[in-house]
Amino acid sequence: MAQFRLQGTKVLAVDMAGDAVKARNGSMVAYDGRMSFKKMTGGGEGLRGMVTRRITGEQMEVMEVAGHGTCWFADRASEVNLVRLNGEKLFVEASNLLCAEASLRTGTSFTGLRGASQGNGLFTTTVEGHGQAALLSDGPAVVLRVSHGMPLQVDPGAYVAHTGDLRQQFQTGISWRTAVGEGSGESFQIRFEGEGLVYVQPSERNTIGGQL
């Protein structure tokens, strides 16, 4: 089994002994030992995955890295956050997924207006199974817990990923006061209800909501 560990906060080291991982294409910054690199179609889901992603607009260029030794991954000095999955499903923007164990299954999930508000399309990437994944964030990600009776509102530009039994609702706070510049400036929000974890970053992407 590949071993994930952080070197600093912006570099992921993966120790492999004949194992394989799926990583963002071009994210390798160094390696030792014997490694092979192979570009995968459809985000690692073969022809069916490639067709699905073209239809949905979810862009995810992935390479398979296999061998014996250590490989280091990074992307534009972004912070790296480790997530261990124990059979649950992780929902993550394709732009925030750096690396995942090869045993984890990847796919796509419909997000509707949430994805549209972020400028990421109507679908997002899913990672499911048992193993580790590494997420990217602009600044150290914060993990927020959602429990029954305690919903969480998140700015779409700060959202990174979530796990658990969560329901999402896209909310708009547009009013006359917002339109004339006297509102809070947070015109769109994602409301999470249920039980689970939400990963947010301390920086906001440019989103449709942020431009209104």
Q: What is the predicted pLDDT for the residue at 94?
A: 86
Residue 174, pLDDT > 70, answer no
- Give mean pLDDT, residues 68-83: 97
- Give mean pLDDT, residues 196-204: 92
- Give mean pLDDT, residues 84-89: 95
Half-sphere exposure of 82 (CA within 13 A, CB side): 16
Q: What is the predicted pLDDT for the residue at 42?
A: 53
Residue 122, pLDDT > 60, answer no
Tens-place pLDDT, residues 23-41 = 999 999 999 999 999 998 6
Q: Does the reported pTM lie above 0.75? A: yes
Top-ranked range on mean pLDDT: pick from 10-24, 102-116, 196-210: 10-24
Q: Percent of the chain scored above 70 by pLDDT? A: 74
Residue 68, pLDDT > 80, answer yes
Average predicted confidence (pLDDT) for the chain: 82
Residue 46, pLDDT > 50, answer no
Q: What is the predicted pLDDT for the residue at 139?
A: 95
DSSP string, 17-63: EEEEEEEETT-EEEEEEEEEEEEEGGGGTHHHHHHHHHHHT----EE
- C-alpha distances (whole Å) from 181 to each of 89, 187, 212 are 39, 11, 10
Residue 186, pLDDT > 70, answer no
The answer to which of 44-48, 89-93, 141-145 has the lowest mean pLDDT is 44-48
Helices (H) and strands (E) in the chain, counts: 3, 12
Euclidean distance between CA atoms 106 and 111, whole angstroms:
16
Structure tokens that stand for 144 in this block: 């927020």
Euclidean distance between CA atoms 169 and 114, whole angstroms:
8
Residue 50, pLDDT > 70, answer no
The answer to which of 45-59, 74-88, 166-180 has the lowest mean pLDDT is 45-59
The sign one gets for the Cα dihedral 22, 25, 89, 196 is positive
Q: Percent of the chain scored above 90 by pLDDT? A: 61
Q: What is the predicted pLDDT for the residue at 48?
A: 44
> The tokens 């071009």 sit on which residue?
26
Q: What is the predicted pLDDT for the residue at 61?
A: 83
